[in-house]
């Protein structure tokens, strides 16, 4: 199996470092440091199509990162791209808003279970922030409950103590609970009775670096009742999981109805859009907000979202991604088992986390294994959740299993401690 090199990527990185902080930021980390082990990951892409990306060195990757979530129908989906081209020919960011905004909002209201209205922005953090502001305005309360290790964006309010640039005053009204610990959450609500505006949480604990945790069967129904009893609004951050678990929303998947749902990533198959949707009683509170952005209602992404939502329903995208993810994770676990190692695949199949286990939980062997897969054309992050999309084929899965097996054999030679028998 061919092993890739990234000469052009690193040449571009040296150029970028002179004019861009860190050279690269975001999921690629501070320069090359986060891409462990060094030299295993491409740094710059040339093009993308379907389930694949090609880097500037001409290497092709089966992309299980899916742009960290936005790629749901495959890169350059022809129906979505046709809708964007048609809208672009008419106009995009204009002084007067295009009626495609209404079409997209109507599509969301007709699709998402808790949606009586839709408010558009660009990033997931835009709409999680609006959700918290709305909750505070609607309830007249200051405190919010977040889950420990939960991620809701980069704005100050959702950071943790000690984060550079974040003041204690920015987070002084935050309370933190353990996900899936209903009794602990209930005790926190009782302790601050009448002070809590909202609980904001991902639908399940799909955090980076650690095994993911699904809720107990009765967890979300009990949390919903607790919120109702105490006048607390329930916000589900569905930016990452949205449209991969349930087309009607991840709250619907777990049998509840959130007061507000934050959506992004898969909402427009890679076009820059996010949305906050919610129940009718909160529409007046949102209408009170002076909350906007220069590009939030640009027409092309709204056309992309409308087309993407319709196609997701038409082709039963959620079910396809679940089936692909189930086959993928099952096959990878079997590869690990055949090599006498332990691989944990946690979360739900269309949004999964992989960790190759070692005795001291250092994740060094895991990083080596993942890195060697990437060098063979299977793009998987060593720390982040992975995703499926509807364009992944049986052949892609078999190639993935073969690459995983070859990479694991190399890893075992360097880290024999991961053998379990």
Q: Which residue has the higher pLDDT, 29 or 88?
A: 88
The predicted pLDDT at position 36 comes to 58
Q: Which CATH number fits domain 78-314: 3.30.565.10, 3.40.50.2000, 3.40.640.10, 3.30.70.100?
A: 3.40.640.10
pLDDT digits 0-9 by tens, 158-183: 998 888 999 999 999 999 999 999 99
The predicted pLDDT at position 33 comes to 47
pLDDT digits 0-9 by tens, 209-238: 889 999 999 999 999 999 999 999 999 999
- Nearest CA to 122 out of 239, 266, 272 is that of 272
pLDDT surpasses 50 at 186 = yes
pTM, two decimals, is 0.95
Burial class of 2 by CB neighbour count within 10 A (0 to 12, 13 to 18, 19+): exposed
- Nearest CA to 208 out of 380, 353, 25, 28 is that of 353
Report the C-alpha gap between 253 and 98 in whole angstroms.
Answer: 33
Q: Where are the domains of the chain?
A: 7-64+317-418, 78-314
The predicted pLDDT at position 161 comes to 86
User: C-alpha distances in angstroms, 398 versus 193, 342, 345, 407?
Assistant: 54, 20, 17, 14
Q: What is the mean pLDDT of the chain?
A: 95
Q: Which long-range contacts (CB under 8 A, 24 or more apart) does 23-32 make?
A: 27/65, 27/68, 27/381, 27/384
Report the C-alpha gap between 291 and 282 in whole angstroms.
Answer: 15
Whether CATH 3.30.230.80 fits 7-64+317-418: no
133-142, 214-223, 358-367: least confident range: 358-367
E-only strand ranges, 152-305: 174-177, 196-201, 233-237, 260-263, 274-278
Q: How many CA atoms lie within 13 A of 92 on its CB side?
A: 13
Q: Which residue has the higher pLDDT, 361 or 110?
A: 110
Confidence of residue 32 (pLDDT cuts 50, 70, 90): very low
pLDDT surpasses 90 at 254 = yes
Say which residues have a Cβ less than 8 Å from residue 155's Cβ, sequence separation at least 6: 125, 128, 129
Determine the average pLDDT of the residues in 110-132.
98
pLDDT digits 0-9 by tens, 275-310: 999 999 999 999 999 999 999 999 999 999 999 999
Say which residues have a Cβ less than 8 Å from residue 39's Cβ, sequence separation at least 6: 6
Beta bridge partners of 147: 177
Fold: same for 7-64+317-418 and 78-314: no
């Amino acid at each position: 199996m061919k092993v890739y090199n990234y000469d052009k990527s690193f040449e571009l990185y040296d150029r970028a470092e002179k004019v861009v902080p860190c050279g690269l930021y975001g999921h690629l980390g501070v320069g090359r440091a986060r891409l462990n082990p060094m030299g295993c990951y491409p740094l710059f892409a040339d093009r993308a199509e379907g389930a694949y990306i090609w880097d500037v060195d001409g290497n092709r990757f089966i992309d299980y990162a899916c742009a960290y979530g936005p790629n749901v129908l495959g890169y350059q989906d022809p129906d979505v791209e046709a809708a964007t081209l048609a809208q672009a020919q008419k106009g995009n960011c204009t002084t007067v808003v295009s009626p495609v905004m209404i079409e997209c909002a109507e599509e969301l209201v007709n699709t998402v279970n808790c949606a009586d209205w839709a408010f558009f922005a660009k990033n997931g953090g835009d709409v999680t922030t609006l959700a918290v502001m709305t909750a505070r305005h609607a309830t007249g309360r200051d405190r919010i409950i977040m889950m420990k290790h939960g991620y809701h964006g980069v704005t100050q309010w959702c950071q943790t103590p000690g984060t550079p640039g974040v003041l204690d005053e920015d987070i002084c009204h935050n309370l933190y609970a353990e996900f899936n610990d209903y009794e602990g959450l209930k005790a926190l609500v009782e302790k601050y009775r009448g002070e809590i505006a909202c609980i904001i949480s991902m639908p399940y604990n799909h955090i980076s670096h650690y095994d993911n945790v699904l809720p107990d069967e009765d967890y979300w129904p009990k949390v919903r009742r607790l919120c109702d009893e105490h006048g607390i609004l329930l916000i589900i951050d569905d930016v990452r999981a949205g449209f991969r678990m349930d087309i009607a929303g991840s709250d619907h998947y777990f049998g509840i109805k959130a007061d507000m749902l934050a959506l992004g990533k898969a909402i427009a198959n890679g076009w820059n859009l996010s949305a906050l949707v919610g129940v009718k009683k909160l529409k007046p509170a949102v209408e009170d907000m002076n909350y906007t952005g220069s590009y939030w209602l640009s027409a092309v992404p709204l056309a992309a979202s409308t087309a993407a939502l319709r196609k997701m329903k038409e082709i039963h995208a959620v079910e396809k991604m679940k089936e692909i993810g189930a086959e993928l994770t099952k096959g990878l676990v079997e590869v690990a088992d055949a090599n006498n190692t332990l691989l944990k695949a946690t979360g739900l199949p269309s949004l999964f986390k992989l960790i190759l286990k070692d005795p001291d939980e250092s994740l060094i062997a895991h990083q080596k294994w993942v890195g060697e897969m990437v060098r063979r054309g299977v793009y998987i992050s060593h720390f982040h959740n992975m995703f499926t999309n509807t364009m992944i084929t049986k052949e892609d899965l078999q190639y993935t299993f073969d690459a995983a097996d070859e990479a694991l054999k190399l890893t075992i030679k360097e880290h024999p401690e991961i053998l379990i028998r």
